Structure 1
Amino acid sequence: MKLLDERLWSLFRRHCQQTLTYWSVFFSFGLCIAFLGPTILDLRCQTQSTLQQITWVFFSQQFFLLVGSSLGGLFKKTLLSSLSALLFCTLIISLVFAIIPLCHNIIPLSIAMALAGSAMGVIDTVGNLQLVKLYQKDSAIFLQALHFFIGVGALVSPLVVDPFLAESNCVLGANWTTNSSSSSDLQHLRSRIAGQGAGLHNISHDSLHTEGVVITRVSYAFWIIALINLPVPAAVLALMYHEKLLPCFSNGPRLLDGDSVSSVSPTGADAKGHGSLFACCNPAKLQGQPTTFFILHVLGGAVLFISDGIIGSYAGFVYTYAVLPPLLMGHKTAGCLTSIFWASITAGRLAFIYLSYRYTPSRVLTVSLVGVILVQCLLLMFNTSCAFLFIGTCMLGLCISSVFPSMLAFTEDILDYKGCATTVLVTSASTGEMMLQLLVGSVINSQGSYAFLLSCTVASFIGFGLFLLFLYAQHIHRNTGSSNNTAMEEKPKPGGS
């Protein structure tokens, strides 16, 4: 049995270079997601800052990722502006990796991470927008592949940095022989703050040297990642050349000016919507839309707010949960949980490339969200089992992996690829990833480690409830659209008999 039918293969071959370029750009996105957690202690040494100070770079990256996501739709009006934005952002990412070793103070490092976060946000919105615009009703399978490459980048980045991480305290004070941290203690601390934003809640009582001789080789890792990322802007530049979008090579008709434009944008979406999050609120663009049109945007964004929030919270706090009572898991063993979670998300997205072809997005989403609830309930029931924590972590990653790309494809399809669905959904997901981590971290601090599983379980039930409301709103929206079409057909023409 073929993975794809001939029509989809033909569609992919037609847009092969564009699709592969967008996939490579999301690989660049993935590189940025995963490098900060493992290197944060070495960056603390490099900037000679406290643990409390250095973990604010997490917030800097996450906050500006949210800003970039909300503004990313501004670059969608033409293919030139979209590709120019992707070229600029991927170059920014390589530049940030190259200059991070030169940041010897927490302020320039935070600024560099803010730049990286903004670039990531723009990439997230523009990449999803362009792929949805390219494939429209067939976009689900290609969106799964797009988000699979985030996982590939997130797996590559820690592998590159691991050989260059300090094995002991990398700031040696005058009395370092008696007070420096052992290798196992440092590994424990590194794992505790590996989840994005998690360090803000988990290290308030930890302290390390801030004055002394800095011994770290992590600079080499950043320079290697910068070089690994350079082929990505080169691929974007090659696509711009192929589409005759470069000023030096703009003679002759553009490849997208002919039939492909009408096939790519049959609904006029390029002219009507997908602006920034703020442009989506323009009253002139919203007139004449039924109430369900807005409700679907809100509910779709709310589902992704919850699902991406669960991903961020679980990745950020599963280590903390594992090393605390009742599990009291070893530090090295618990440190594998976050890697297993991200690996299972990557594997799940690879598997859902095929499943998205075989089944509708609504069915994929229903099975995925029910699976998330079942896994969370099982984790609560077997909360004292170390073995099941590993099994549940893997199962949770597999179940939740398809929610974002499937929800994006489903919502855009319902709304006929007009409006601001992609921008709203991407921004909502980024907001949820940042806000739920802060909420779950606060709950863990006040209620104990068991509240971690309980919070994620409650969130999964809320997410499924919102999805059921989304399906109900879709049903009403479809009936409203059918009624409007029938009324238009029955309305007598002027001058008719």
Structure 2
Amino acid sequence: MSTSNLQGGKTNHLKGMKYFVTVCLSLAFCALGVAVGIIGPTLRTLAYNIGVCLDELSFIFVARGSGYLFGSILSGIVFGKLNPNALICASLCVTAVGLTAVPFMPYVVLVALSLSAAGISMGFLDTGGNVMCLKTWGEKSGPYMQILHFSFALGATLAPLLSQPFIMDTPQNCTFTSSQNSTSLSSTSTPVRGTTEVLETPDMKFPLVAWAFLISSGFCILVALLFCYIAWSWSNAVPSDQKNTSIEEGQNFRMKMLGLLFIFYLLYVGTEVTFGSYIYSFATISENHYSKEEASFLNTLFWGTFAIGRFLSIFVSIWVTPNRLLQMDLVGTLTASVIMTCFPLYAENSGFLLWIAVALYGLSMANIFPSGISWVEQYITVTEKAASVLVIGAALGEMLFPLLLGQLIEANAMILPYFTAVSTVACILNYILMLWVAKSRGKRLNKTAKFEVVEKTGDYGENSSLMNDYKTEEGL
């Protein structure tokens, strides 16, 4: 067999390994999307099962966000030192265990602990998966990064549909009271004056909503088996195609970019998770008082258009630059936010505008996370530690924003669209500042390529065009 045939066979084998890893990562992100999205539509049922009101249960978002934060930090430290496939396998298994425990916990604190454990593994998976994709495909990672995050959106879209048969019709403005024998819920939304509807708290031995969490956990375990197979069957890891130019970029520039990206992802992911978690509650307690089926469909509409946007971006990203995609998405989110803030003006006669705004919002939010990573990779090398900084910002947003909204949304449903609009404007302002800092330095691979040409040609003359271009981009 000729040397060229051997090299060709090796190249095809490596490509096959890369594609297989990408498929497995996509399934892992789909499982991650289900794990994140399952909480929103089941939140009111979980609160009712435990015997608390919605604002008290919003504490669980802090617990999950704290775990996500810790998992992101831990991932940045150990991900490059241990077998990444084994680590992702372990993170999926821990996620499955945490989700399984949630519906069986009789107290908010225990639910929070279960979600905190799941959050650690989810933060680990989020950070590690993004880094693995960048290392696997290098400069060509754009479409594959979009595939990963489309898979997350697909999982988040399936979550409300999966949970809908297992959630309960719960009263609206509720208070819980304790007695010697049982915990009961008093509904203040009863239509008959002077009467009180008392609903007994369901048996916690096996609540109906547990099926939604068990199905989600089973999916995580199945995907974990794939990574277990890779970790134990492949003797060699997939070679990295990522070019590391951290030294050439300079620590000062990297710190500025990572600081701004930290804020950007804190705002973006915090808003995304908050909206996805509370759109169901917003629909049921708003002026129109949507039924649980309508609220579930509205929730699914958001995540569905979110998934469609990420699917379309797989192909769009081939021709459209990440920067242009970000600009289009930010304009779309701002437009949708303005329409939603005007909901009281058209709620009675033109309620369909809310559905249009939610669809536009989901479509526009879809590409921001992967496009942001692909865009910043043009200016700085996204290493394990750099990726952990981004996910830490995302985890803080996921932790703080839902907690804040959970305390306020029961009193006024319009808090959700108002918050969305303010956060979107802040995100746009941060993006403008980030773009200014990035363009003041220039793209990292362009500088590296020109310097390599200067070295190869030996054209070091002070007046050479290549050297002048290099000096200009370096700011010399």
Band of TM-score, shorter chain: 0.7 to 0.9
Q: Is the 8 A contact 1:133 1:417 kept in 2?
A: no
| % identical aligned pairs | 21
Is 1:456 aligned to 2:459, yes or no?
no
Q: CA deviation at 1:491?
A: 9.2
Measure, in 2, the Cα distance between the counterparts of 1:370 and 1:111: 38
The equivalent residue for 2:90 is 88
Partner SS state of residue 301, structure 1: helix
RMSD of equivalent CA atoms = 4.0
What aligned pairs does 1:87-126 form with structure 2 within 5 A after superposition? 87-100=89-102, 102-126=104-128
Question: How far is the alpha carbon of 1:151 from its aligned partner?
Answer: 2.0
What does residue 318 of structure 2 align with? 357
Contact 2:177–2:186 (CA under 8 A) maintained in structure 1: no
Q: CA deviation at 1:312?
A: 2.5
1:136 has 2:143 as partner: no
**Cα deviation 1:205-254 (Å, max 9, x = unaligned):** x996559887733334433333232211111011113422xxxxxxxxx2
Corresponding residue for 2:377? 412
Match in the other structure for 1:24: 27
2:192 maps to 1:227? no
1:34 deviates by 1.9
Return the alpha-carbon distance in structure 1 between the equivalents of residues 93 and 203 of structure 2: 35
Distance in 1, Cα, partners of 2:43 & 2:425? 34
User: Which residue of the partner structure matches residue 209 of structure 2?
Assistant: 218
Partner of 1:158: 160
Once the 2 structures are TM-superposed, how far is the Cα of residue 130 of structure 1 from its aligned partner?
A: 0.7
Count of matched residue pairs: 428
2:362 is aligned with 1:397? yes
C-alpha spacing 1:123/1:175, structure 2 compared with 1 (3 Å): same
The amino acid of 2:215's aligned partner reads I
Would you say the 8 A contact 2:127–2:384 is kept in 1? no
Counterpart position of 2:429: 465
Mapping 1:56-455, distance limit 5 Å? 56-78=59-81, 80-100=82-102, 102-166=104-168, 209=200, 216-244=207-235, 254=236, 256=238, 260-261=239-240, 264-267=241-244, 289=250, 291-319=252-280, 321-322=282-283, 327-332=287-292, 333-381=294-342, 383-385=344-346, 386-418=351-383, 420-440=385-405, 448-455=412-419
Contact 1:341–1:397 at 8 Å: present in 2 too? yes
1:342-364 Cα offsets, whole Å, 9 max, x none, are 11111111111111112111111
Cα 1:129–1:374 shift into 2, 3 Å: same
The residue type equivalent to 1:362 in the other structure is N
User: 2:28 corresponds to which letter in structure 1?
Assistant: V
* SS of corresponding position for 2:83: helix
Distance of aligned partners of 1:36 and 1:394 in 2 relative to their CA distance in 1, 3 Å threshold: same
The AA in structure 1 aligned to 2:323 is S
In structure 1, how many angstroms separate the alpha carbons of the residues matched to 2:50 and 2:401? 29
> In the superposition, relative to structure 1, how do residues 416 and 119 fare at CA in structure 2: closer, same or farther (>3 Å)?
closer
**Is the alpha carbon distance of 1:10 and 1:306 closer, same or farther for their aligned partners in structure 2, counting shifts above 3 Å?**
farther
TM, length-normalised to structure 1 = 0.74
Amino acid at match of 1:162: Q
2-side partners of 1:427 and 1:209: how far apart?
41
Relative to 1, partners in 2 of residues 1:409 and 1:181: Cα closer, same or farther, differing over 3 Å?
same
- The answer for unaligned runs of 5 or more in structure 1 is 1-8, 187-205, 245-253, 273-285, 493-497
Structure 1 residue 384, shift from structure 2 partner = 2.2
Deviation at 1:461, TM superposition (A): 2.2
Do the aligned residues in 2 keep the contact of 1:96 with 1:113 (CA within 8 Å)?
yes
Residues 181 and 298 (structure 1), Cα distance of their counterparts in 2 relative to 1, 3 Å cut: same
TM-score normalized by structure 2?
0.77
Relative to structure 1, the CA distance from residue 312 to residue 96 in structure 2 (aligned partners, 3 Å threshold; closer, same or farther) is closer
Moved more, 31-40 or 404-413: 31-40
* Residues in 2 aligned to 1:41 and 1:123: alpha-carbon distance in whole angstroms: 27
Aligned mates of 1:315, 1:418 — CA distance in 2? 29
Q: 8 Å contact 1:302–1:466 — kept in the other structure?
A: yes
